[in-house]
Amino acid sequence: MNPETSPFRPGQPVPIEFFIGRIREVERLRGMVKASSEGKFRIGFVSGARGIGKSSLASFVRHLSEHESQVAGCHVILGGVEDLNEMLRRTFDRLLKESMDKPWHEQIRNFFGNHVRRVGLFGVTLELSLKDSDLSTLAHDFVPTVTRLLDSLKGHKSTLFLILDDINGLAGSEFFANWLKGTVDEISTSRRKMPLCILVVGLEERRQELVSKQPSLARVFELIDIAPWSDDEAMDFYRKSFHSVNARVATTDMRELVRCTGGLPVLAHEIGDAVWHTARSLEIDSCEVMEGILTAAEVTGRKLLEPQVFSAIRSERYRSILRKMSDEPRTRFRRSELLDRLTGEEGNVMDNFLRRMKRLGILETDPEVKGGYRFPNLLHAQYFWMESRRTKA
Ligand SMILES: Nc1ncnc2c1ncn2[C@@H]1O[C@H](COP(=O)(O)OP(=O)(O)OP(=O)(O)O)[C@@H](O)[C@H]1O
Ligand SMILES: [Mg+2]
């Protein structure tokens, strides 16, 4: 089918109407934003595996909140940012840019005054120009600055919902950790109303890293951990997506898609899209579904795996072990079970293989099972299983 009409959007944010599941998490986050709109400061950490939908959840709640009440949302992607000043620069710059088509744009512009510059080929973009000394002042005066900013938006917006997404680089910064703790303390001791909700988004390892830099932060965050979709949610996703373009897929085939997805939205879009590309008509049959799944395994390997992982498993000997390790979707196995499935030659290199996989972070020792291993990353487990099916087909 024509790729342009695909209802799936791999690598892109999900449109609001296609957002599936996460009802409890959405309610919890909406509750936090609502509390902050009543002047009670809230701060949360959204964690979960890669591609599980952390950014999408934050973005969905932001849109809901903006429509429901006087909330100004600001979603900043901080991948690669390692220091506090750069984080602040990007945050306020984002706020300026996001206000551009909003009725409160003039107020924001006035607030930033002559720090706003016109940039871009035809001067169509605005940029916030802040010197290092401005940023240091901003870090120091963050709370009063947000208060003044909200004052200037009176009549339009009364609450700021700040999403600090992808804090990978910042999680290692002691300076950032201390600043965050200091900000929380400043707000809680001032006893003034603070209509601010901050949502930090990242992998659980990053939260732990951040907390290791400033242990008191552990008590500060409300934790929202995102689990994989249930089978019903994944089913709902495929049903709605295919239905939206009047395509028909048999329920048994849909179940197979769900099994391959392993609850990971990022895979759901890749698999769905591959099936769509394979299909010749809106009546999508079992062969096309299977062919799509196999293509998705190839595409996923190239697109979603880290290059060092992808190249390590290119070796034919290792791949044959991997396939036997993942003969069904699973996230843990025992060394002895694996050994039983291998040929003598494969068995001879198995321990080398396991060590290499551990070094690459693909496997780790399972602390709950003697001689057990597990995949810390669900995406890897799911990929190896799809890959084992691909080579058997
Ligand atoms: N609830 C959902 N409904 C439908 N699609 C979703 C949902 N959540 C995520 N997706 C889709 O899955 C893909 C990955 O989602 P997203 O980028 O939000 O994950 P993430 O956890 O932030 O990933 P990363 O760890 O790489 O930052 C995107 O293409 C997104 O559109
Ligand atoms: Mg993300």
The neighbourhood of ligand 2, an ion, using CB within 5 A, equals: 55
Tell me how far apart the terminal alpha carbons of the chain are, to the nearest angstrom: 23
Average pLDDT over residues 159-181: 95
**Ligand in nearest proximity to the CA of 21:** 1
Task: Give the torsion sign (CA, 82, 85, 88, 94).
Answer: negative
Q: Does the structure show a pLDDT above 90 at 312?
A: no
Q: Does the structure show a pLDDT above 90 at 316?
A: no
Task: Tell me the CA–centroid distance for residue 127 and ligand 2, in Å.
Answer: 24
Local confidence band at 391 (pLDDT 50, 70, 90 cut-offs): low
**Ligand in nearest proximity to the CA of 16:** 1
The reply to whether ligand 1 has any atom less than 6 angstroms from the CB of 21 is yes
Average pLDDT over residues 257-274: 94
**Ligand in nearest proximity to the CA of 263:** 1
pLDDT at site 327: 67
pLDDT at site 392: 66
Task: Tell me the CA–centroid distance for residue 166 and ligand 2, in Å.
Answer: 6
**Ligand in nearest proximity to the CA of 75:** 2
Cβ count near 43 (within 10 Å): 21
Per CATH, the number for 22-225 is 3.40.50.300
Local confidence band at 167 (pLDDT 50, 70, 90 cut-offs): very high
More confident call, 133 vs 388: 133
320 class by beta-carbon count within 10 Å (0-12 exposed, 13-18 middle, 19+ buried): middle
What pLDDT digit, counting tens, does each position of 345-373 carry? 889 999 998 999 899 888 999 999 999 99
The reply to whether ligand 1 has any atom less than 6 angstroms from the CB of 310 is no
Percentage with pLDDT > 70 across the chain: 98
Read off the tokens for 74. 């600001």
Local confidence band at 52 (pLDDT 50, 70, 90 cut-offs): very high
Beta bridge partners of 332: 374
- The answer to whether residues 352 and 317 touch, using CB atoms and an 8 Å cutoff, is no
Residue whose CA is at the smallest distance from ligand 1 atom 4 = 19
Local confidence band at 250 (pLDDT 50, 70, 90 cut-offs): very high
Average pLDDT over residues 214-222: 94
Average pLDDT over residues 307-327: 78
pLDDT at site 25: 97
Q: Which range, of 67-76, 77-86, 261-270, 301-310, averages the lowest pLDDT?
A: 301-310
What ranges do the domains of the chain cover?
A: 22-225, 231-392
Q: Cα separation of 226 and 339, whole Å?
A: 34
- Which residues, 6 or more positions from 103, have their beta carbon under 8 angstroms from its beta carbon? 156
Average pLDDT over residues 268-284: 96
Print burial letters for 136-174: b (CB count within 10 Å at least 16), e (below 16): eebbeebbebbbebbeebeebbbbbbbbbbbbbbbbebe
25 class by beta-carbon count within 10 Å (0-12 exposed, 13-18 middle, 19+ buried): buried
Q: Could you tell me whether strands 332-334 and 125-128 are parallel, antiparallel, or unpaired per DSSP bridges?
A: unpaired
- Which residues, 6 or more positions from 152, have their beta carbon under 8 angstroms from its beta carbon? 107, 108, 110, 111
The reply to whether ligand 1 has any atom less than 6 angstroms from the CB of 263 is no
Beta bridge partners of 196: 160
pTM attached to this predicted model: 0.90
Read off the tokens for 154. 């009176």
Which of 110, 89, 83, 86 minimizes the C-alpha distance to 99? Answer: 110
Q: Does the structure show a pLDDT above 70 at 193?
A: yes
3-state secondary structure (DSSP) of residue 122: coil
Indicate which atom in ligand 1 lies nearest the CA of residue 21. 1
The reply to whether ligand 1 has any atom less than 6 angstroms from the CB of 269 is yes
Indicate which atom in ligand 1 lies nearest the CA of residue 13. 31
The reply to whether ligand 1 has any atom less than 6 angstroms from the CB of 73 is no
355 class by beta-carbon count within 10 Å (0-12 exposed, 13-18 middle, 19+ buried): exposed
Torsion of CA 148, 150, 156, 161, to 10 degrees: 160
